[in-house]
A and B are shown apart, each in its own frame.
Chain A
Amino acid sequence: MTTQQSNDTEQQAEKLRELFADAPEPVRTALENAIPDMQTRGSAPPLESAGRIGKRQGKVSELTMIAPVAPDATKRLRTLLEMLGGNFDGAEKVGTVHDMRFVFLDNDTKLLFATAYDGDWDDYISDFATKIPDLMDIVFSAIQGWPGIRDPSIKDFLVKYQIPADAWYVANPDLTVVETRRLQRVGKALDEFLDKIG
């Protein structure tokens, strides 16, 4: 570590101590225990932007949306999601979606939608509008005022409810869904080959 860097980490440690000064005693002890480790690891590369809104780590981006639910829509969507039981054929086809979660908040008046996906947020919205419009409309019409996926202002509508993450961890930031599938195929083929010669 250069002198400059060690000065920086020392400053950061001081800043944390100040911030945690009012925290309960066990928390302050925990912080002191953690500081040496944080200092040796240095700072992580900053999160990039996923285009218009949201954060990106390597090739993976995050999207979190909290939107008001349309009247009576909770029951519809909840039943639909239960029936699907986590089986999202559409997401499978899209080929960029790592995960998706739907959570109803505040007495079922709000919907939280969160996903990790590859690439830029709005690159494929118009493709969804022509390739999987029904699926999109069935699910997202639960949001109050949903204009329909084909509406030309749909991107602006979605942006209104998106909240960029402050922090976010990705284990394999360079592995896209497509690449993961490819590596699985390659791994399987390699095992079969080794089985034959072994």
Chain B
Amino acid sequence: MSLLGRSGGGPRRSAVGVELDDIQATVLRYRPEPYYGTHVMLHVDEAAAGRELLRRLAPYIDSAADWWQAGNAWTAVAISYPGLVSLGVPEDSLESFPETFRQGMAARSDALGDTGPNDPKRWDAPFGTGQIHIQLSIFSDDRAKWHRAMETARQQYQGLSGTAVLTIQDFGAQPGDRNPLGYKDLIGQPAIEGSGVEPLPGQGRPIKAGEFILGYPGEAGVPLLMPQPEVLGRNGTFVGVRKYQSRVGAFNRFLQANGQTEQERELLAAKLVGRWRSGAPLTLAPGQDDPGLGQDPQRNDDFTYAEDTHGRRVPFGAHMRRMNPRDTALAQLADVNLHRIIRRSTTYGVPYDAAALTEHDDESPHGIYFIFLGARAMDTIEFLQREWINNGNFMTLGDERDPVIGLQDEAGIFTIPEEPVRRRIHGLETFNVLRGGEYLFMPSLSALNWLAELSG
């Protein structure tokens, strides 16, 4: 099965400029449709046991060779800083990792603006405690294949003394692959130079591989600093995981309070994101939903904001326009190609229900393991949190925050440009509450072997 450009047959190939057979599949392979999978969080008590675990797992970790074909389920592995320490990585090597990564996401809460309801003190265990050492993720487009891959993984870690399973979280299996607020997601992704596939229409010029994979030149023309030795850093990347609880009741109540009819509510839901729930972008379908457009990877990302300079289709504060402003004229100088992320998010829990309106619904477990990858993932998420999510200055929106993932106080506002005057909606709440997070390192396959063979 091809993962890209389905309606137009296979993806258009282009030159490969990175070592696909050494890079983990998840770095380049899109989340399949439909999708099923599991995240397993593991702890390493004894270095030798941790290495044994990696040795056992290594044959089952998929490379990105032919990443655009996804016949089987695949498994990915990522390791936290405490994980690297407990595996016995030598001190000088540990010191070569970025300071933010070494501190970990919980310790960076000030820089990330993770305060109040998002404060690490309120996170679900074991997030933020330093116990999560290894994350295994299994992705599949088929239930049976998922179960088989999960069984294979389990055979490697089950009962291995000196290691322990902390949590197991299944994800996916959502009707229509919708996310917890009822939207189709993971449409907009960066095109990566040298990945072997032509960009999809509208994806923009391919971004230099070094922004996403360590060891290659980035947008400034030079490689980023990389963990040492080279075999450990090269072809690896950093991963951020942020576990969100979606307050579906609050979100639905907000739509009810600000939309009289079903149609008004759906339009408001589309304005908050920039796309209808079907995925159809407001730039191309401003007046009403177009589910066929939303489904079509050849068309559903094929737009810029050149025709929408006043934000009358996609408001400047819409989640999608904030997270990737494309050609929007920004009030602050920024290189939009430096703040892109690869997203591999996974939805867990009960599917979206438009009739869920109670505070009880806010707490029933459903949400997103938001997962993003990049060679400077820690810098990127801190930048996004400070500048583009919990801030409106870059779009001349003052203190307005991202309507989907912003941390709102009582005065939360969302501006919708309209003729003759803009509409301002008050009473935005924090619709997605942070309940956990980790910074992880996703090693190359040769780095995985290097780690497994460490001694001492």
Known contacts A150-B222, A182-B396: A96-B332 contact under CB 8 Å: yes
Docked-complex contact A95 and B338, CB < 8 angstroms: no
**Which residues of A in the span 107-164 have a Cβ within 8 Å of any Cβ on B?**
118-120, 123-124, 126-133, 150-153
Docked-complex contact A120 and B396, CB < 8 angstroms: no
Query: A60-100 CB contact bits vs B (8 Å, 1 = yes)?
Result: 00000000000000000000000000000000011110000
Docked-complex contact A152 and B224, CB < 8 angstroms: yes
Q: Which of B11-19, B52-60, B358-366, B379-387 contacts its partner?
A: B379-387
Give the Cβ gap from B184 to chain A, nearest Cβ, in Å: 31
Docked-complex contact B393 and A118, CB < 8 angstroms: yes
Docked-complex contact A132 and B223, CB < 8 angstroms: no
Within the complex, which residue of A124, A126, A179 is in contact with B393, where a contact is CB–CB below 8 Å? A179
Q: How far is the CA of A131 from the CA of B337 in the complex (A)?
A: 11
- The tally of CB-CB contacts under 8 A between chains A and B is 67
Tell me whether A170 is interfacial, beta carbon within 8 Å.
no
Within the complex, which residue of B224, B332, B335 is in contact with A178, where a contact is CB–CB below 8 Å? B332
Tell me whether B9 is interfacial, beta carbon within 8 Å.
no
Tell me whether B355 is interfacial, beta carbon within 8 Å.
no
Docked-complex contact B338 and A127, CB < 8 angstroms: yes
| Nearest-neighbor residue (CB-CB) of B219 within chain A | A130
Within the complex, which residue of A119, A127, A153, A182 is in contact with B335, where a contact is CB–CB below 8 Å? A127
Tell me whether A57 is interfacial, beta carbon within 8 Å.
no
Docked-complex contact B220 and A126, CB < 8 angstroms: yes
Tell me whether A42 is interfacial, beta carbon within 8 Å.
no
Docked-complex contact B379 and A126, CB < 8 angstroms: yes
Tell me whether A173 is interfacial, beta carbon within 8 Å.
no
Docked-complex contact A131 and B333, CB < 8 angstroms: yes
Docked-complex contact B332 and A152, CB < 8 angstroms: no
Tell me whether A187 is interfacial, beta carbon within 8 Å.
no
Tell me whether B175 is interfacial, beta carbon within 8 Å.
no
Within the complex, which residue of A51, A95, A152, A178 is in contact with B223, where a contact is CB–CB below 8 Å? A152
Residues of A within 8 A of B111 (CB): 51
| Nearest-neighbor residue (CB-CB) of B333 within chain A | A94
Docked-complex contact A95 and B221, CB < 8 angstroms: no
Give the Cβ gap from A180 to chain B, nearest Cβ, in Å: 11
Residues of B within 8 A of A131 (CB): 333-335
Residues of B within 8 A of A124 (CB): 332-334
Residues of A within 8 A of B383 (CB): 123
Known contacts A123-B383, A178-B331, A178-B332: A130-B220 contact under CB 8 Å: yes
Q: How far is the CA of A130 from the CA of B379 in the complex (A)?
A: 16
Residues of A within 8 A of B333 (CB): 93-96, 124, 127-128, 131-132
Tell me whether B8 is interfacial, beta carbon within 8 Å.
no
Known contacts A119-B386, A178-B396, A179-B398: A129-B332 contact under CB 8 Å: no
Within the complex, which residue of B220, B330, B398 is in contact with A129, where a contact is CB–CB below 8 Å? B220
**Which residues of B in the span 377-425 have a Cβ within 8 Å of any Cβ on A?**
379, 382-383, 386-387, 391, 393-394, 396, 398
Q: How far is the CA of A143 from the CA of B376 in the complex (A)?
A: 27
| Chain A: interface size category | 20 to 34
Q: How far is the CA of A129 from the CA of B376 in the complex (A)?
A: 15
Q: How far is the CA of A93 from the CA of B398 in the complex (A)?
A: 18
Tell me whether B225 is interfacial, beta carbon within 8 Å.
yes
Residues of B within 8 A of A126 (CB): 220, 335, 338, 376, 379
Q: How far is the CA of A59 from the CA of B387 in the complex (A)?
A: 12
Within the complex, which residue of B221, B224, B331, B386 is in contact with A123, where a contact is CB–CB below 8 Å? B386
Query: B247-261 CB contact bits vs A (8 Å, 1 = yes)?
Result: 000000000000000
Residues of B within 8 A of A133 (CB): 220
Q: How far is the CA of A24 from the CA of B170 in the complex (A)?
A: 75
Residues of B within 8 A of A130 (CB): 219-220, 335, 337-338
Query: B311-333 CB contact bits vs A (8 Å, 1 = yes)?
Result: 00000000000000000001111
**Which residues of A in the span 13-49 have a Cβ within 8 Å of any Cβ on B?**
none
Q: How far is the CA of A94 from the CA of B379 in the complex (A)?
A: 19
Residues of B within 8 A of A181 (CB): 331
Q: How far is the CA of A112 from the CA of B35 in the complex (A)?
A: 57
Q: How far is the CA of A126 from the CA of B331 in the complex (A)?
A: 17
Give the Cβ gap from A117 to chain B, nearest Cβ, in Å: 10
| Nearest-neighbor residue (CB-CB) of A94 within chain B | B333
Q: How far is the CA of A176 from the CA of B395 in the complex (A)?
A: 12
Docked-complex contact B387 and A119, CB < 8 angstroms: yes
Query: B201-214 CB contact bits vs A (8 Å, 1 = yes)?
Result: 00000000000000
Q: How far is the CA of A164 from the CA of B63 in the complex (A)?
A: 47
Q: How far is the CA of A127 from the CA of B393 in the complex (A)?
A: 16
Known contacts A51-B111, A93-B333, A95-B332: A151-B386 contact under CB 8 Å: no
Q: How far is the CA of A182 from the CA of B396 in the complex (A)?
A: 7
Residues of B within 8 A of A123 (CB): 382-383, 386-387
Q: How far is the CA of A94 from the CA of B335 in the complex (A)?
A: 11
Residues of A within 8 A of B221 (CB): 150
Residues of B within 8 A of A128 (CB): 333
Q: How far is the CA of A128 from the CA of B334 in the complex (A)?
A: 8
Docked-complex contact B222 and A178, CB < 8 angstroms: no
Residues of B within 8 A of A182 (CB): 396, 398
Docked-complex contact B387 and A153, CB < 8 angstroms: no
Give the Cβ gap from B378 to chain A, nearest Cβ, in Å: 12
Residues of A within 8 A of B396 (CB): 178-179, 182
The 4 closest A-B pairs by CB, nearest first: A95-B332, A150-B220, A178-B331, A94-B333
Report 13 cross-chain contacts, Cβ distance below 8 Å, ordered by A residue: A93-B333, A119-B386, A123-B382, A126-B338, A126-B376, A127-B335, A130-B220, A131-B333, A131-B334, A152-B224, A178-B332, A178-B393, A179-B398
Q: Which residues of B contact A (CB under 8 A)?
A: 111, 219-225, 330-335, 337-338, 376, 379, 382-383, 386-387, 391, 393-394, 396, 398
With A123-B382, A127-B338, A178-B331 given, name 12 new contacts (CB 8 A).
A51-B111, A59-B393, A96-B332, A123-B387, A124-B332, A128-B333, A129-B220, A130-B338, A151-B222, A153-B225, A178-B394, A181-B331
Q: Which residues of A contact B (CB under 8 A)?
A: 51, 59, 93-96, 118-120, 123-124, 126-133, 150-153, 176, 178-179, 181-182
